[in-house]
Amino acid sequence: MCGIFGIVTNQNISVGKIALDGIKRLEYRGYDSCGIVSQHKGKLYIKKDSGKIDDIHKKMKLDDLPGKLALAHTRWATHGAPTKINSHPQIDCSGKIAIIHNGIIENFIELKEHLISNGHDFKSETDTEVIPHLIEDAMKEGLSLRSAIFNALKKCKGAYGVAICHADHPDEIFVVRKESPLVVGIEEGKTTYCASDIPAFLPYTQKCYILDDDEIAILRPGEVEFLELNSEKKVKKNAIHVDWSIDAAEKGGYEHFMLKEIYEQPEALKRTLAIPQASIEIFADMLLSAKNVYITAAGTSYHASLAGKFIISKFLGKYIQEMECSEFQTQLKDCLEQDSLIIALSQSGETVDTIEAVRWAKENANVKILTITNVVGSSLTRYSDHVIVTQAGPEIGVAATKTYTTQVLTLALVGITIARKRNVIPASEIECYHEALKNTPEIVKNFLANNIHLIRNIVKNLEKSLNFFFLSRGISIATAKEGGLKMKEIACRFIEGYSAAHAKHGPISLVRKGFPIIFIAPPDETYQRLIGNVAEFKARGGKIISLVIQSDKIIADMSNITIPIPQPGDKYHNLISPITFIPALQLLAYYAALEQGLDPDKPQNLAKTVTVH
């Protein structure tokens, strides 16, 4: 949570402006306060406050800072309310050491007590503030800045990514990573950047290094040195070249990142279809040879896992046990079997509960980890035996959209590969499933091109109903749940995504005349029974909105409003309906948020990457 950005240069450029732009690109990681520090002629210049970056910038001109080195931070509060004093950078007593931090220092209370007893004066309630004081303490004892940083950070327990600068060190930024993402970007000989995420410096360079846990990077203008935190030895690292376009990290003419990313889905799906088959085969082979298979994730990725599990188990001939990552260890601690295989899904690859689940499993049993993520080199990939990177491109909107559809598509590609390897269906059918997968970009594109008006009208129609249901059966329960989650997080409405069959066991008692129920109804094997469920809700006065294929007659006729998805009604396309039906619900949430004056890119209390338990 929180976004970190740093720049050190020998060029004549405004570090304040670049740092400000950098944290604006990271705002999805947290946006309750922000701050910038620059170094110039032996002094630190700090501007910070609580609130959104744009508002603070209007008040304080955040980009107007002298010098050739700056650090900037956008915060998602953990320890200490989102106030000016708690915003970063945090400094030591002398005002010479400044630090920005993402993560949590778990032992900060004992460190703080010790530092206070040594005469340090704390200004904030943050855990972060212990770090500059620890460095100051070590420097007072005669250590150099570099040694003091090693000394201080070895005392800190927890997960963190930090960037540190000193008033008397005009051309050095120290960056440390322990389980919180940090990347370094470099323009050789000129400028070096650090950030929590690559898009923050993408307009300036595509050459970057990914820090590993327990590593320190020392950034100087146009160069960087890596060291191990514990041994203090040098580390040799290879740079990677990211081929994301700069455009991908900007809004590109759309009002919000969320809308842009919904519209990017056809392209993202096309790129995902081009994932090398060899990589899919490895994934499939590992699944085939595993004794037990689990699939784990959080939030939207968890919903992708529900859809993916359905598709893969259809062909695998083994049950796949899904498990929310935060429950993984608690529920399996006495029964995780040897030779299990765990599929871990995470768009960021940094969700702490997902990482902890796989790390715990690896430490406690002979298991293999298959990861699907959107971020090359993310933390989760380190614990993985095989990784597939979904080709969604950077996703900035807090609500996951294109990463969801590409995750489901990736799992579907694995499922079809397994079907071929196991010979469970004729080759002609495999071909039909492949065709259906290949059609997903076009189906989504056609839907998005023709239905905005309809979706906006539905939003207006629903305006008075704060609560309603998304109901379905079978594989589409994943779609109902994901649609419900989008509505909750973006439009702040309590929408329950639920099984249509199960809804009779309680939730149906909420239905009154005009109560909206959205049915997700591809014509699959659950369709006949879903007709019955629609009838039950209609009979109680419910207003039926249905998501159906274009040629649907029965449920369409029973509905007050239908949202037509332009796809054929065969079983091959039904199986990929979690991909083709969800854009309608993403748009519904997006426009419902706008209707209520909410910013879809900044849902309240949320951060895109959840790096705390």
Q: Which two tokens stand for residue 458?
A: 């539905």
Interaction of residue 347 with ligand F6R, rule CB under 6 A:
yes
Specify the 3-state DSSP secondary structure of 214.
Answer: coil
- Bridge partners of 178? 160
Instruction: Identify the residue among 489, 524, 552, 601 touching ligand F6R (CB under 6 A).
Output: 489
Please tell me which residue in 2, 34, 194, 325 is annotated as part of the active site. 2
- Closest separation between CB of residue 488 and ligand F6R, Å? 9
Instruction: Identify the residue among 33, 87, 128, 301 touching ligand F6R (CB under 6 A).
Output: 301
Please tell me which residue in 47, 402, 481, 608 is annotated as part of the active site. 608
Size of the site for ligand F6R (CB under 6 A): 15
Region near ligand F6R per CB under 6 A, out of 1-9, 294-302, 494-502, 506-514: 294-302
Region near ligand F6R per CB under 6 A, out of 81-89, 138-146, 345-353, 554-562: 345-353
Q: Which two tokens stand for residue 90?
A: 């945090």
- Of 293, 300, 296, 275, the C-alpha closest to 339 is 293
Instruction: Identify the residue among 50, 300, 476, 567 touching ligand F6R (CB under 6 A).
Output: 300
- Closest separation between CB of residue 259 and ligand F6R, Å? 14
- Closest separation between CB of residue 442 and ligand F6R, Å? 25
Start-end of H helices in 451-569: 452-462, 476-491, 527-539, 554-558
Interaction of residue 127 with ligand F6R, rule CB under 6 A:
no
Is 2 designated active site?
yes
Interaction of residue 411 with ligand F6R, rule CB under 6 A:
no
- Closest separation between CB of residue 375 and ligand F6R, Å? 8
Region near ligand F6R per CB under 6 A, out of 40-48, 272-280, 348-356, 454-462: 348-356
Start-end of H helices in 469-522: 476-491
Instruction: Identify the residue among 265, 354, 379, 381 touching ligand F6R (CB under 6 A).
Output: 354
Interaction of residue 326 with ligand F6R, rule CB under 6 A:
no
SS (H, E, C) 126-179: CCCCHHHHHHHHHHHCCCCHHHHHHHHHHCCCEEEEEEEEECCCCCCEEEEEEE
- Closest separation between CB of residue 329 and ligand F6R, Å? 16
The DSSP call for residue 383 is G
- Of 506, 515, 548, 511, the C-alpha closest to 531 is 548
| CA distance from start to end of the chain | 11
State which residue has the least CB distance to ligand F6R.
299
Measured distance CA(449)–CA(272) in Å, rounded: 21
Interaction of residue 400 with ligand F6R, rule CB under 6 A:
yes
Specify the 3-state DSSP secondary structure of 495.
Answer: strand
Q: Which two tokens stand for residue 32?
A: 């309750």
- Tell how strand 292-297 and strand 240-241 pair up: unpaired
Kindly tell me which of 103 and 566 has the beta carbon lying closer to ligand F6R. Answer: 103
Interaction of residue 346 with ligand F6R, rule CB under 6 A:
yes
Kindly tell me which of 127 and 489 has the beta carbon lying closer to ligand F6R. Answer: 489
Interaction of residue 27 with ligand F6R, rule CB under 6 A:
no
Provide the b/e sequence for 494-513 (b: ≥16 CB within 10 Å): ebbbbbbbebeeebbeebee
The DSSP call for residue 103 is E
- Number of residues in the chain: 613
Is 84 designated active site?
no
- Active-site positions read 2, 608
Residues that bind ligand F6R in the complex, under the rule CB under 6 A: 298-301, 346-348, 351, 354, 399-400, 485, 489, 609-610
